[in-house]
Structure 1
């Protein structure tokens, strides 16, 4: 009987040693691997937690990066959208306005006014900026209107002048046929029927296929519409 008990105890002891050996070896191997890879256990835990939530994170709207100058592309689109239902007419008539921060009646305007009004909500007065640049570099701006000097009332409200100004200020982005290249708050210019200059702001809303909508005024006041690839794109800018 004693021999049988001794046999049982010896067997248990051997099994305990074997289990302990493999457990210790596995633990040591894992710790060695962590040291070699320089990945602390806490970091591994955080990485695993993030991996479990990748699908959830990808479904959230992208967060806007904070810029040193305080400019917000998302705010630009939001301020442009606030003009919808307020600016209800398209009126290209010449008007005498104040300077700086001059504007025509908010109920009317042209495509450039959508951009000008939205930018002013962030302290950017295109009337003043364009005037100052044209005054200093008048020769590089278009002469289609027979002007021999700057005009504070209208210069900033002309698409062709804005194209020159934005390019000179380094805001140009390559024109692309890829919808993913057009980000919220980007500015785009077109030639409608290959003739009429037009400008709009890329919205943060898209179609189901990912094509961004555009906030603009093409004849019925400020609207948000699917027009990005409807006309020939001339230029693409990012402030």
Structure 2
């Protein structure tokens, strides 16, 4: 069965103008997509992905994903796109090995997947576990932020440790 991607009025991937610099790089907490969960969590820890991803893309624009036809970085949206976050995390060497062992994923780790329909998805490992020992993950796949047993539900595309444990 599994979790299906069901877009609701709470999940809003539309383009939004966001203050930059010195904004919070975030859409309203009642709206947003999976990347907004990561953006909010890191912002609470002092990380400004809007600024960091923008500066990184500005310095390395030609080596970033170009799925969206942009000709230059856009501070309003680039940090909200999972492939851009994956590129940023890899470039800044916070990538961890992808593993099929739950013990290799620590609370706070960021995990990205490709859903069954090949869409990118991202979430954060929590400090809560299933009875079987799998860590739960907070993510948003259409119904607002949820904590669920999804770590191994889809093909893991990336595993990142933003802050050292």
Q: TM-score, normalised by structure 2?
A: 0.89
Residues 118-137 of structure 1 aligned to structure 2 (within 5 Å): 118-137=41-60
Residues 147-162 of structure 1 aligned to structure 2 (within 5 Å): 147-162=70-85
Secondary structure at 1:93 match in 2: coil
Question: Any idea what the Cα deviations from partners look like across 1:73-111, whole Å, max 9, x if unmatched?
Answer: xxxxxxxxxxxxxxx921111111111323221211100
CA contact (8 A) 1:203 1:214 kept: yes
CA contact (8 A) 1:194 1:232 kept: no
Question: Any idea what the Cα deviations from partners look like across 1:210-237, whole Å, max 9, x if unmatched?
Answer: 1000000011000000100001100100
Q: Identify unmatched segments of 5+ residues in structure 2.
A: 1-8
The reply on whether 1:203 has 2:143 as its aligned counterpart is: no
Residues 180-219 of structure 1 aligned to structure 2 (within 5 Å): 180-219=103-142
**Structure with higher RCO (Cα < 8 A, 6+ apart):** 2
- Equivalent residue, structure 1, for 2:4: none
RMSD of aligned C-alpha atoms? 1.1
- Equivalent residue, structure 2, for 1:93: 14
CA contact (8 A) 1:200 1:215 kept: yes
Q: Select 1:172's aligned residue among 75, 78, 95.
A: 95
Question: Any idea what the Cα deviations from partners look like across 1:118-149, whole Å, max 9, x if unmatched?
Answer: 11112110000000000001011001101110
2: distance between equivalents of 1:184 and 1:104? 24
Q: TM-score, normalised by structure 1?
A: 0.62
Q: Select 1:229's aligned residue among 147, 152, 161.
A: 152
Between Structure 1 and Structure 2, how many residues are aligned? Answer: 152
- Equivalent residue, structure 1, for 2:32: 109
Q: Which has the larger share of helix?
A: 1
Residues 33-52 of structure 1 aligned to structure 2 (within 5 Å): none
Larger Rg: 1 or 2?
1
Moved more, 93-102 or 107-116: 93-102
CA contact (8 A) 2:138 2:147 kept: yes
